[in-house]
Amino acid sequence: MQFDVLTLFPEMFSSLNESIIGRAKKNEQINIKLINIRDFSEDKHNKVDDTPYGGGAGMVMKPDVVYRAYKSLENKENAKVIYMSPQGKTLNQKKVVELSKEGHLIILCGHYEGIDQRVLDKIVDEEISIGDYVLTGGELPAMVLIDSVSRYVEGVLNKNSVEEESFSKGMLEYPQYTRPEEFEGIKVPDILLSGNHGEIEKWRKEKQIEITKKKRPDLLK
Ligand SMILES: C[S@@+](CC[C@H](N)C(=O)[O-])C[C@H]1O[C@@H](n2cnc3c(N)ncnc32)[C@H](O)[C@@H]1O
């Protein structure tokens, strides 16, 4: 899976070198290319933003600079271009699975007051939000997208992990326990120590329904 990220702050993405995503990069199951939009400024001060037409607070990222950064990408014709934006559709597991089948995503990160509408209209296929709140930039949302989508890329995780997890079958996951058998006087449920896989499966299903009803009844509707 190829992720091309257009950003003014590529250094922020160093956290993706850690843990499971870091390993997926090393194993070449995913490839993340970071493109610094500032490199495409033709201004002698490397200017990438300007004041908004019509007045108002803040700065707007310039369309020509963003467009040049986009045009520098290879194989962009078959890629889906996503603009991380609080105005987009809120990301959920269904969308994550859908995007994991894409093969090549170009992710555009805004900053300041956002990006000039003309270049968005020209290159963006879809706007995605990570929730109804406003962040300072699209970098954290882009990392959320890359992390969640990568988990569904073949080989990144054990198949059972993604299939049994919260939201995968419209429900939350059952509770998990590990050693020690007793912690602060609280024992692991006996059924999990029984070795009876059929009964364990049944117990987990019951717990899934119970937990979903309690925490997210909306998912059961
Ligand atoms: C301060 S925001 C701009 C908000 C914009 N002026 C508005 O009111 O819709 C700067 C950038 O952060 C990113 N961003 C902020 N909140 C986001 C969210 N909830 N989901 C995805 N991206 C977000 C977008 O890329 C956006 O261009």
Q: State mean pLDDT over 55-78.
A: 97
Domain 2-157 identical in fold to domain 160-220: no
Separation of CA 89 and ligand 1 centre (Å): 12
85 Cβ inside 6 Å of ligand 1:
yes
Residue 2 has pLDDT above 90, yes or no: yes
All structural domains of the chain with their residue ranges: 2-157, 160-220
Rounded to whole angstroms, the Cα distance separating 210 from 172 reads 9
Handedness of CA 109, 153, 175, 183 (dihedral sign): negative
Q: Cβ(133) to ligand 1 under 6 A?
A: yes
Q: Is the pTM of this model over 0.85?
A: yes
What pLDDT is attached to residue 30? 98
Instruction: Assess whether the C-beta atom of 84 lies below 6 angstroms from ligand 1.
Output: yes
Q: What fold characterizes domain 2-157?
A: Alpha/beta knot (3.40.1280)
Per-residue pLDDT tens over the stretch 91-131: 999 999 999 999 999 999 999 999 999 999 999 999 999 99
- In angstroms, the Cα distances linking 76 to 37, 125, 149, 211 are 16, 12, 19, 43
Residue 168 has pLDDT above 90, yes or no: no
pLDDT of residue 185 exceeding 90, the answer is: yes
CA atoms within 13 A on the CB side of 131: 6
Q: Which atom of ligand 1 is nearest to the CA of 131?
A: 19
| One CATH from 1.25.40.20, 3.90.420.10, 1.10.1270.20, 1.10.645.10 for 160-220 | 1.10.1270.20
- pLDDT at site 169: 85
Mean pLDDT of the residues in the chain: 97
137 CA → ligand 1 middle, Å: 6
Given CA atoms 56, 59, 62, 66 in this order, what sign does their dihedral have?
A: negative
**Does ligand 1 come within 6 angstroms of the Cβ of 61?**
no
